Chains A and B, each alone.
Chain A
Amino acid sequence: MTEALHSTPTRSESELVEPLICWLRARRQLRDDALLVEEFPWHGRRVDLALLTASGVSSAYELKLAHNRRVIEQSYLNTVSFDRTYLVTATRLMEPLFKQAATLGVGIIHVSLSTGRVSQLLASRRATIHPELRRKLRQALVRRDGASV
């Protein structure tokens, strides 16, 4: 038992990426012609995962295993520039945080690390983006496309 515990690697947010990407592909929200950039630098912070579809719809995903309060605020900042913004978490949110995310228009996606099952708990509200910001975001994403899948 002790040995098993010791050999368990420390969990990190990156473990959420693969199940999320599979899920997005399965839902056809991520196609081959989309841009997907990890650790996307944007206005002085990094968006964990940024997606731009061929039709020009952008989504931001902030990944967090637990302790989601701060990341909801960060996700809220993304709603200025991204059409859709999500918090991707491995824990179930407490009711007040869930309500806060709903108020801010931030969607919530849950990833079970034990089963790999992904489910959307809350839809993201589509934001109204200023055309200039939309153009800049697209430009920045295309520039950083080295990490596309």
Chain B
Amino acid sequence: MFENRFAHFLSYGATDQRTVRELAGDYNGLLVPGTVAAFQREGTGGFVLTLSATTEGPQYAIDPRFPLFQQALTRPKRSHVALAELLGVPELVRPTDPSPADFTDDIIETVARNWATFNGDYQAAAGSKFEKYARRLGQDVRPHDAKAPSYVMPPYLVAGPPPDPWWDVSQRLYEATSNALNDDGRCVRVIAARNVGALAPLTLAVSENRAAIWVSGLEELTRPASDLTEYALAIRESKQRNLQVFALYGGFFSIMLQNLGLSGSSHGIGYGEYRNWIELPESGPPPARYYLPHLHRYVQADEAARLYFTDRRLAECECAECNGEPPVGLDYHALMRHSVRCRAREIAEWRDLGTPEMVERLGREWAAFLAILHGSDLPEVAIARYERLGSHMSTWATALENTAP
């Protein structure tokens, strides 16, 4: 998260194993949701640990996803229950909203101790599944080569600016977990902000020199420029105070924050560039979409096909998956690999640009796209649709411009 020039992490999901395995080396690390790690303990452990045992093994950490228990869970999933049980407090799953006062010292101690133990013992999590996943990996890896989590993220809660009592609970969880780990240097605090305005004050309230950040619901594609500027400035100010921050969720906009001080970001494979802290009753990955590199966003695959067949310059991609062919040829896994390859390429291509160059390049890319669009034989209503799909490009440019001192 903090060692690379810009750390590219992927959020792990069981359906992503193939992509994660095949692209090892094209990203820096994995974030494993605590719910998945708890519910599919041996399977997830087997996959993650065998991968970690390879020479090019990515870093990994387990995200406790603790804000789950900050809300009523009227229809809890089995993974919610499994995580609460792993933490030693099954009553964390409850049908009513908890209050900060419900998180007693006893509960905090129990959660912290169990989370520290789970992370500390994680190298044994694969159990009998290690061999199975080693075979799938096709490499001669041994259990004793499996690595411990690169970082331990203590349970955290989503909070507003101090003195929000939820921040106080979050602080106590951090301290208790850090103590339970004997402060072995792997602890990374998560600053989970209820909204973008809460981020800067929360970063001011910590004394460490690195942290993971998450602004609930910060959807880069739809937020106004002012929100994105505020987010960027909070990151820059953290850096100026010697606090390195890593974004738990981020899309292309997060990449453009690297020279303002963001040390890396994580995203789901094929989706998951932002997250709301309120759990949806039904969730799961959306249907596979195509990452349109020209607009730095996902679009429906047939939409991408429409653009490609209108003028291939609108949707052509030269990554190893697409090879200039139309987007319709990609199957599910190829779509996923394409998205990760695109993001890796974006990180590499944009990392040496200063903010003014990024603003200029965004403008140039968008202008080129529009010129092709308007020169095409697409009907007006379709052009208007694609203009809407790319409207974030100028929003992002404005947001970045407004970070100028």
Q: Which residues of A contact B (CB under 8 A)?
A: 41-45, 72-73, 76-77, 80-81, 100, 103-104, 130, 132-133, 136
Chain B contacts of A77 at CB under 8 A? 300, 302-303, 306
Do the beta carbons of A81 and B302 come within 8 Å of each other? Answer: yes
Q: Do residues A76 and B305 form an inter-chain contact, with CB atoms below 8 A? A: no
Q: Which residues of B contact A100 (CB under 8 A)?
A: 379, 381
Q: B286 contacts A104, CB within 8 Å?
A: no
In the complex, chain A residues whose CB is within 8 Å of the CB of B302: 42-43, 77, 80-81, 133
Smallest distance from the beta carbon of A16 to chain B beta carbons, Å? 23
B189-221 interface bits toward A, Cβ cutoff 8 Å, 1 = contact, 0 = none: 000000000000000000000000000000000
Which residues from chain B contact A43 at a C-beta distance below 8 Å?
Answer: 287, 289, 300-303
Return the chain A residue nearest B382 by Cβ.
Answer: A76
Closest 8 CB pairs of A and B: A80-B302, A44-B287, A43-B300, A132-B328, A133-B328, A103-B379, A80-B306, A43-B302
A80 to B385, CA, bound (A): 15
Closest to A105 in B: B379
Whose C-beta in chain A lies nearest to the C-beta of B301?
A43
B381 lies within 8 A of A76 (CB)? yes
Q: How far is the CA of A103 from the CA of B383 in the complex (A)?
A: 13
Is B2 interfacial (CB-CB < 8 Å)? Answer: no
Name A104's contact: one of B303, B309, B326, B379 (CB within 8 Å). B379
Residue of B nearest to A100 (CB): B381
**Which residues of chain A are within 8 angstroms of B326 by Cβ–Cβ distance?**
130, 132
Question: Are A132 and B382 within 8 A (Cβ)?
Answer: no
Query: Is B127 positioned at the interface, with any CB of A under 8 Å from its CB?
Result: no
| Interface contact A44-B286, CB-CB below 8 Å | yes
Known: A72-B381, A80-B306. 13 other contacts (CB 8 A): A41-B287, A42-B302, A43-B300, A43-B303, A77-B306, A80-B302, A80-B305, A80-B309, A100-B379, A103-B379, A130-B305, A133-B302, A133-B305
CB of B162 within 8 A of chain A? no
Does B324 belong to the interface (CB within 8 Å)?
no
Contacts of B356 in A (CB 8 A): none
How far is B304's CA from A132's CA once the two chains are assembled, in angstroms? Answer: 14
A33 to B: closest C-beta gap in Å: 26
Q: How far is the CA of A76 from the CA of B378 in the complex (A)?
A: 11
**Which chain B residue shows the least CB distance to A136?**
B328
Chain A residues near B306: list those with CB within 8 A.
77, 80
Please, what's the 1-or-0 string for B380-398, where 1 marks a CB less than 8 Å from any CB in chain A? 1110010000000000000
Give Cα A130–Cα B309 distance, bound, in whole angstroms.
Answer: 9
A104 to B381, CA, bound (A): 8
B309 contacts which chain A residues (CB < 8 A)?
A: 80, 130
With A and B bound together, what is the CA distance between A76 and B380 in angstroms? 12
How far in angstroms is the closest Cβ of chain A from B299? 9
| Cα A136 to Cα B335 with chains together (Å) | 14
Known contacts A73-B385, A80-B306, A104-B379; is-contact A44 B289 (Cβ 8 Å): yes
A131's nearest neighbour on chain B, judged by CB, is B328
5 interchain pairs, CB-CB under 8 A: A43-B302, A73-B381, A104-B381, A130-B309, A136-B328
A130-B305, A132-B329 in contact; A44/B300 too (CB < 8 A)?
yes
Q: How far is the CA of A21 from the CA of B21 in the complex (A)?
A: 48
Contacts of A132 in B (CB 8 A): 326, 328-329
- Measured in the bound complex, the distance between the Cα atoms of B382 and A42 in whole Å is 19
Contacts of B305 in A (CB 8 A): 80, 130, 133
Q: Report A-chain residues with C-beta under 8 Å of the C-beta of B379.
A: 100, 103-104
Q: Do A45 and B328 have beta carbons less than 8 Å apart?
A: no
| CB-based nearest B residue for A130 | B328
User: Which single member of B286, B381, B385 contacts A103 (CB below 8 Å)?
Assistant: B381
A58 to chain B, nearest CB (A): 13
Give residues of chain B (299-345) contacting chain A, Cβ–Cβ below 8 Å. 300-303, 305-306, 309, 326, 328-329
Name the residue among A45, A80, A81, A130 with the largest chain B CB count within 10 angstroms. A80
A73 to B286, CA, bound (A): 21
With CB as the reference atom, state the residue of chain A lying closest to B289. Answer: A44
A45 pairs with B381, CB closer than 8 A: no
In whole angstroms, what is the CA distance A74 to B243 when docked? Answer: 47
Q: Which residue of B lies closest to A80 (CB)?
A: B302
Question: Which residues on the B side are within 8 Å of A103 (C-beta)?
Answer: 379-381
Give the Cβ gap from B388 to chain A, nearest Cβ, in Å: 10
How far is it, in angstroms, between the C-alpha of A136 and the C-alpha of B329 when the chains are bound? 9
What does the 1/0 interface line of B354-385 toward A look like (CB < 8 Å)? Answer: 00000000000000000000000001111001
Q: List the B side residues contacting A45 at CB < 8 Å.
A: 300
CB distance from A132 to the nearest CB of B (A): 5
Instruction: Kindly provide the distance from the CB of B142 to the nearest chain A CB, expressed in whole angstroms.
Output: 41
